[in-house]
Amino acid sequence: MLSCVTLKVCMKKIGNLKSKDEIYKGNLDEAGDKMVKLSEIKISIATAIAAAFGFIIALIWKEIIIGLMVLADMWQEGGPTTWENAGIAIFSAVIITLVCIFGIIYISKWAGIEKK
């Protein structure tokens, strides 16, 4: 059952509610709290996707760098095993990097993020 204190708090919150017109005009929800704007959500999504693209780029280049170090006898294991495979890996990494960069640019424009 509700205690007297809880009931008083609930009644106080109900008394502080705004009319629907005030809610829509002032971007407030029914409890009087500030609502999150769609632009803020878009910026958060764009930031997360850009970070994911950056992570993909970093992982691809890490493998290539390790492979080149193996081919130069500066590392023990991992990456491409021949210089031909290394060239193909570098070409693939450049293409994937460009796709990710264009993806970051597109997502940034979608979210409305501008240069400062």
Domain chopping of the chain, boundaries? 1-35, 36-116
Residue 116 has pLDDT above 70, yes or no: no
Q: What is the percentage of the chain residues whose pLDDT exceeds 70? A: 65
Is pLDDT above 50 for 4?
no
The CA-atom distances, in angstroms, between 79 and each of 9, 37, 63, 69, 73 are 63, 45, 5, 9, 12
The predicted-structure confidence for 34-79, as pLDDT tens digits, reads as follows 677 888 888 888 889 999 999 999 999 998 888 888 888 777 676 6
